[in-house]
Structure 1
Amino acid sequence: MSDLLIKCLSYSQAVRIYVANTKDIINEIGDRLNYFPSALAAMGRVLTVGAMIGSTLKGNESVTVKVEGNGPIGLIMVDANPKGEVRAYSQNPHCHFENPDTHKLDVRNTVGNRGFISVIKDLKLKEPFIGTVPIISGEIAEDFAYYFNISEQIPSAVSLGVLVDEDSRAIHAGGFMVQLLPNASEEVIEKLEEKIKQLPPMSKLLSQGNTIEQIAKLIGDETTTIIETLPLEFKCSCSKERFARGILSLGAEEIKQMIEEDKEARTICHFCGNEYYFPQNELNTILESASKKRK
């Protein structure tokens, strides 16, 4: 089953529900960059919520989500857009924690319980929208529910789950995001809170065989309607030209030193693992451009 995201309206159009399946994208990134199990689970949770936030945007808008905790994984960053294109980066994908009592993956200790979450939306205006809140849990779902409630002032519930096997492959992965619309009554809020309280964790909902459509119905009421189905895909925007511009920005002196010492350059994209090779003749061309720029 390919990764998908659905957007729904429920409770007579008083509640918006997003549900996503993200297993394939998480495994593609995990395979490309050799993620360890709890790092894969942490990155996967951030990627899932990033994809859901991306789906709230329009046209050529985009979002960058950053989780900067004090745990060993360091910075986790996700780029997403309303076309369903998403990519993710972790500073240290080679870390792993398990709870010694339950032997379950320990995302909180992987991410850390102190730090910040930032959501940067490029809405094609003069300045991007930037919302930042402290990490309150490190489990990711609770942190993003807090972000929506505090920074965007949208009452929200978030559930995220990534079930990983011993070979560091996601078996099930996805999440849901539920947001109240301004017309939600107290009665609707009470019903919704009760339903969400009774739901098992997201990874269990998926491992029980529920589809994302069935999960949306478990959250919503009989008025639940799917208003959009969005295929999700891993897409990295890196290119050799982009890395060449990065080398150019180093300036003539540093490029000259690079040529004298190494005679070549190899650059690796941290999002997808692609390597770009610049032999000496290409570095000489970049050096010429840098020298002209300086004059």
Structure 2
Amino acid sequence: MPDLAQLKQKYRNRDRVVHAIACDGTIRASVVVSTVTAQEAQRRHSLEPVGAVLLARALSAASAMASFLKGEERIIVEAKGSGFIRTVYAEALQLGEVRGFVEYNANVNGKSSPLGKGVLQIRKILYNKAEPITGIVELQAGNLTTDLAHYFWQSEQIPTGVRLDVTLGDDGKIECSAGIIVQALPGADQVQLRRIYQFLDSIGSLCELVRTGYNAEEIARQTLPADITLFSSTPVDFFCRCTKERFKELLLGIGEEELVHMRQAGQNELVCQYCGARYYLTSEDFDELLEQLRASRN
């Protein structure tokens, strides 16, 4: 059984996103350490190194941006391109849940730019809005870091510093993933803001700080001026709310004929695009679904 010191260390090293403010509320920042989350995403989707890095950055970005929201409000970060990676998708809740996936272009070789030409789309699903708030910009570099900074400037007109860092081991597996977003709010001191940007540029990598023992809160305190106020500190997990029952509800929408065809063809495996979870329909499941469809006609 782990002792108190081990439990404290586990808590300290847990994936976490921190939302902080500084300079009398004129600068806000979100720092996320998402190593375990990114490793879990790579494992679940069996991603090669390039796809794993891009998804890790997207997961960090979504988690960091979601920390500025409330409760179950959501952020979706989605990059679509013409390269050998077609889609990088990450979705995060302010509560700390995040999920995502990568789609590949089968007809494009891996020697091209990973995303190629394309767009970055940010969607915010907010409590007081009937429709998502959506912003779209063209990809500038295809690395998501530069692209996200461009999005904030172009679409939201907010001066923003962004770092999304990922390191890989010799085996191509993720060893560290971390990110920071620093934004100027009304009344921000431009000199102070430039100093923060310069610091972000000067550090070798956020993962270097993580390797030397810094957690998300300590990175925030290292980056921002001394008068930092911690607004929130939230554990981050790769988590998807998919269930077999939710899949069955969706299958009711495809109709009786298609369900019968699935059954006859032995197509009983259901795979969640977002998290890679697999569910299997039994003969009883098919009976139940078909019975519901027939009952709905009467």
TM-score of the superposition, structure 2-length normalised? 0.87
Flag the 1:159–1:96 CA change in 2: closer, same or farther, 3 A.
farther
Picking from 38, 41, 65, the partner of 2:53 is 41
Return the alpha-carbon distance in structure 1 between the equivalents of residues 211 and 292 of structure 2. Answer: 55
Q: Which amino acid aligns with 2:74?
A: S
Residue aligned with 1:65, SS: strand
1:146 paired with 2:157, answer no
Residue aligned with 1:245, SS: helix
Residue range with higher mean Cα deviation, 44-53 or 167-176: 167-176
Corresponding residue number in structure 1 for 2:124: 121
1:268 paired with 2:275, answer no
Picking from 211, 228, 232, the partner of 2:215 is 211
Residue aligned with 1:243, SS: helix
Corresponding residue number in structure 2 for 1:253: 257
**Offset at residue 208 of structure 1 (A):** 4.7
Aligned residue pairs total 284
Corresponding residue number in structure 1 for 2:160: 156
What's the CA shift string for 1:76-96, capped at 9, x where partnerless? 111111101111111149999
**Offset at residue 58 of structure 1 (A):** 0.7
Corresponding residue number in structure 2 for 1:3: 15
Flag the 1:198–1:260 CA change in 2: closer, same or farther, 3 A.
closer
- Listed as ranges, the gaps of 5+ residues in structure 1 are 99-107
Return the alpha-carbon distance in structure 2 between the equivalents of residues 156 and 26 of structure 1. Answer: 24
**Offset at residue 209 of structure 1 (A):** 4.4
- Listed as ranges, the gaps of 5+ residues in structure 2 are 1-12
What's the CA shift string for 1:82-120, capped at 9, x where partnerless? 10111111114999969xxxxxxxxx932x231111111
Flag the 1:231–1:182 CA change in 2: closer, same or farther, 3 A.
same
Residue aligned with 2:85, SS: coil
Residue aligned with 1:91, SS: strand
RMSD: 2.4
Residue aligned with 2:162, SS: strand
Picking from 280, 285, 288, the partner of 2:288 is 285
**Contact 1:35–1:93 (Cα < 8 Å) also in 2:** no
**Contact 1:79–1:87 (Cα < 8 Å) also in 2:** yes
Q: Which amino acid aligns with 2:33?
A: N
Identity of aligned residues (%): 27
Superposition misfits of 4+ residues, deviation over 6 angstroms: 93-98
**Contact 1:36–1:96 (Cα < 8 Å) also in 2:** no
TM-score of the superposition, structure 1-length normalised? 0.88
Return the alpha-carbon distance in structure 1 between the equivalents of residues 102 and 296 of structure 2. Answer: 34
Q: Which amino acid aligns with 1:75?
A: T
Residue aligned with 1:109, SS: coil
Residue aligned with 1:254, SS: helix
**Offset at residue 55 of structure 1 (A):** 1.1
Q: Which amino acid aligns with 1:192?
A: I
Return the alpha-carbon distance in structure 1 between the equivalents of residues 247 and 50 of structure 2. Answer: 30
Return the alpha-carbon distance in structure 1 between the equivalents of residues 46 and 200 of structure 2. Answer: 35
